[in-house]
Amino acid sequence: MTLKRFSLLLLSSLLLAITMLLVSIYYFFYLPGIKTEILDQQQQEYNLLYSALSLSKNSLTTLCYDYAVWDELVEYIGNPTDDFVQRSMPDNAFKAANIDAVFVSDINNELVWDYQDDSLTSSRLSLVDLIHQQNIPSFAILPTTAEIASQTVSSRSGYIVFGGALIYFSNTTILPSTGHGEIVGSLTMVRLVDKALIKGISQFSLVNFSIADVQTSTKSMQEFFSLKPIENIAPSHSWLIRNTFDNQAIQVTLHHKKVSLPQLNWVSAITILLSIVLIVSLSLIALSRLLIEPLIRFNKSINDSSDNNFMSKMASNHFIDEVENVSYSFNQLLLKFNAQQNYLETLAVQDSLTGITNRRGLESFSKRIISRWHLENIGFSVMMIDVDNFKYFNDQQGHLNGDDALVAVATCLVKVMAPYDALASRYGGEEFCIIWADNHYQNILKVAEEIRESIEQLQIPNKIDGRNWVTVSIGVVVVDDKLAGVQKYNFNDVLQHADEQLYLAKQTGRNTVIVARFSN
Ligand X SMILES: Nc1nc2c(ncn2[C@@H]2O[C@H](COP(=O)(O)OP(=O)(O)OP(=O)(O)O)[C@@H](O)[C@H]2O)c(=O)[nH]1
Instruction: Give the interface with ligand X as residue ranges (CB under 6 A).
Output: 353, 386-392, 394, 399, 402-403, 406, 429-430, 506, 510
The nearest distance, CB 504 to ligand X, in angstroms, is 13
Which is nearer to ligand X, 430 or 499 (by Cβ)? 430
Instruction: State how far the Cα of 30 lies from the Cα of 21, in Å rounded to an integer.
Output: 12
| Distance separating alpha carbons of residues 420 and 410, to the nearest angstrom | 16
Q: Considering the complex, what minimum distance in angstroms separates the CB of residue 490 from ligand X?
A: 26
Identify which of residues 104 and 406 has a Cβ nearer to ligand X in the complex: 406
Bridge partners (DSSP) of residue 255 are: 208, 236
Alpha helices in 79-194 (DSSP H): 82-88, 91-96, 124-131, 145-149
**Residue with Cβ nearer ligand X (255 or 510):** 510
**CA 468 → CA 393, 446, 448, 449, 465, distances in Å?**
11, 23, 21, 18, 9
- For the chain, the first-to-last Cα distance in angstroms comes to 65
Cα gap 7→12, rounded to integer Å: 8
Shortest CB 389 distance to ligand X, Å: 5
Residue 169 vs 390, nearer CB to ligand X: 390
Residue closer to ligand X by CB (options 205, 473) is: 473
Comparing CB distances to ligand X, the nearer of 25 and 347 is: 347
β-bridge partners, 514:
475
Instruction: Please say which residue, 26 or 503, places its beta carbon nearer to ligand X.
Output: 503
CB of 397 to ligand X, least distance (A): 9
Distance, C-alpha 359 to centroid of its chain? 66
Contacts 24+ apart (CB under 8 A), 391-400: 392/462, 392/464, 393/462, 393/470, 396/462, 396/463, 397/461, 397/462
Task: Work out how close the CB of 394 gets to ligand X at its nearest, in angstroms, rounded to a whole number.
Answer: 5
**From CA 187, how far away is CA 109, in angstroms rounded?**
10
Beta bridge partners of 478: 381, 517
Q: What phi and psi values does residue 110 have, to the nearest 5 degrees?
A: -85, 140
**On the CB side of 455, how many CA atoms lie within 13 Å of its CA?**
29
- Which residue's CB is nearer to ligand X, number 197 or number 495? 495
Q: How far apart are CA 437 and CA 379, in angstroms?
A: 7
Residue 299 CA, distance from chain mean position: 29
Question: To the nearest whole angstrom, how small is the minimum distance from the Cβ of residue 454 to ligand X?
Answer: 18
Least Å from the CB of residue 493 to ligand X? 23
- Nearer to ligand X by Cβ, of 129 and 465: the residue is 465
The CA distance from 162 to 100, in Å, is 13
**Shortest separation between residue 500's beta carbon and ligand X, angstroms:** 15
- Contact present, 72 and 84 (Cβ < 8 Å): yes
Q: Which residue is nearest to ligand X (CB)?
A: 402
- The least distance separating ligand X from the CB of residue 477, rounded to whole angstroms, comes to 19
Residue 364 CB, shortest distance to ligand X, in Å, is 22
Q: Closer CB to ligand X, residue 194 or residue 430?
A: 430
Amino acid occupying residue 95: K
Closest CA to 175 of 95, 260, 67: 67
